[in-house]
Amino acid sequence: MTEEQGQNYSPLAFIWGHLFASFSAPDIDLTGRTALVTGGNGGLGYAAVLHFARCNASRIIIASRSLTRCQAAAQKVYEDVPSYRGVVDVMELDLSSFANTIKFCQDLNADKGRLDIIVANAGIQPKPETFKQTGDGYEETLQVNGLATALMGVLLLPKLEETAGREVPAGSKGMKPTLSIVASEVHYWSKFPQANAPGSLIDALNDPAQFVDFNERYQVSKVLSVFIGRELAKLPAVTSGKVLVNSVNPGMCQSAIRDNMGPVIAWIFNAIAWSAEKGARNFLYSSTQPTMPGAFIHHCRETPVSTFVVSPKGRETQEKYWKECLDIFRKLGVDSELDRAL
């Protein structure tokens, strides 16, 4: 077996890619398929919803903290894609609460319908210089982008696996049920200082003294997204060949994610960013095309992850992170659901 190669992605390479990368949305008919987009009421998530509507997905589920915002987005889909004849449903999901995340997954697992695509897109960037903990006692970015996204992946893999056993819609024959974890190119730039802390990695990430700054924390959280994609890809639903899991980078896109940084900085970023429509082509690609399990998708193609992720230290950190995630999940009263997936 050849050693996996990582790559560095310099700021210059980023600027070059941002200026010149050209890729189109895959042309696929998703009639008969159901797609879930977390954080699908705005920004990149809503752009992904529109891609799925243009591809005729029969059912689209938009989930976020606000049912009102999700309902408004669901109505807008029919204005933005007038030809769309499918159903758009909404669900409440708050990844900053384990109890809410578990309820969301239980409701979806109890749903009689199929689930072909999950774009785990909901994510946050912390407010500058603000260490904020959730009601569960974890730093918010760690819980939303890291822990709860991983928990949702584990709890919903059996639903994707069950869907794999259902009839395959004619327009998208080769496609496996797929979970795409939304990561970012910023994972290339993370120094992941907490990886060197002795003892628990999650304790280190949850220690205010080890919260370097909001930017570093966001970068670390996107390394965690890559880790989650690679670890979920080792689970039986994926190794059996029934289901696909990968992680995906949309590129720097217009959205509300930088609103935390103040109106001027957010405006500057949005002025130079890609449209969310362009970035979300990556989500359509990662969730419908036959990638390698655990692959990282960037500019609509499989791309090496960072040199840190594939380094011995990175592999050790990934394994440690995953083990500690599972230790936390085991304390949440969902043992039977975990056993189904692991």
Ligand X SMILES: NC(=O)c1ccc[n+]([C@@H]2O[C@H](COP(=O)([O-])OP(=O)(O)OC[C@H]3O[C@@H](n4cnc5c(N)ncnc54)[C@H](OP(=O)(O)O)[C@@H]3O)[C@@H](O)[C@H]2O)c1
CB of 93 to ligand X, least distance (A): 5
**C-alpha closest to that of 192 among 150, 224, 231:** 224
Structure tokens at 316: 């050790």
* Residue of 84, 159, 180, 222 marked active site: 222
77 binds ligand X (CB under 6 A): no
Q: Which stretch binds ligand X (CB under 6 A): 163-171, 247-255, 306-314, 333-341?
A: 247-255
Q: What whole-number distance in Å separates Cα of residue 205 and Cα of residue 11? A: 26
**C-alpha closest to that of 25 among 206, 259, 283, 239:** 283
Question: What angle is formed at CA 263 by the lines to CA 42 and CA 19, rounded to 5 degrees?
Answer: 70
Query: Binding ligand X by CB under 6 A: which of 45, 126, 293, 294?
Result: 45
CB of 318 to ligand X, least distance (A): 19
Burial of 20 (0-12, 13-18, 19+ CB in 10 A): exposed
At residue 312, φ and ψ (nearest 5 deg) are: -55, -40
Do the Cβ atoms of 60 and 87 come closer than 8 Å? yes
247 binds ligand X (CB under 6 A): no
Site for ligand X in 100-129 (CB under 6 A): 121-124
Structure tokens at 211: 């919260």
Q: How far apart are the first and last CA of the chain?
A: 25
- For the question of residue 247 being annotated catalytic, the response is no
223 binds ligand X (CB under 6 A): no
94 binds ligand X (CB under 6 A): yes
255 binds ligand X (CB under 6 A): yes
Exposed e or buried b per residue across 99-112, where buried means at least 16 C-beta atoms within 10 angstroms of its C-beta = ebbbebbeebeeee
91 binds ligand X (CB under 6 A): no
CB of 87 to ligand X, least distance (A): 20
Q: What whole-number distance in Å separates Cα of residue 251 and Cα of residue 282? A: 9
Do the Cβ atoms of 142 and 209 come closer than 8 Å? no
39 binds ligand X (CB under 6 A): yes
* Residue of 218, 225, 286, 287 marked active site: 218
- For the question of residue 22 being annotated catalytic, the response is no
Nearer to ligand X, 55 or 95 (CB): 95
286 binds ligand X (CB under 6 A): no
Query: Binding ligand X by CB under 6 A: which of 35, 55, 155, 182?
Result: 182
**# of chain residues touching ligand X (CB under 6 A):** 30
- For the question of residue 127 being annotated catalytic, the response is no
32 binds ligand X (CB under 6 A): no
Nearer to ligand X, 41 or 194 (CB): 41
Query: Binding ligand X by CB under 6 A: which of 91, 93, 115, 325?
Result: 93
Burial of 56 (0-12, 13-18, 19+ CB in 10 A): buried
CB of 141 to ligand X, least distance (A): 9
Q: What whole-number distance in Å separates Cα of residue 286 and Cα of residue 9? A: 20
Do the Cβ atoms of 175 and 242 come closer than 8 Å? no
Task: Tell me how far CA of residue 174 lies from CA of 169, 244, 289, 292, in angstroms.
Answer: 10, 12, 9, 14
169 binds ligand X (CB under 6 A): no
CB of 38 to ligand X, least distance (A): 6
Nearer to ligand X, 93 or 179 (CB): 93
Q: What does the binding site for ligand X look like in residue numbers (CB under 6 A)?
A: 38-39, 41-45, 64-66, 69, 93-96, 121-124, 144, 182, 184, 249-250, 252-253, 255-257, 273
Catalytic residues: 184, 218, 222
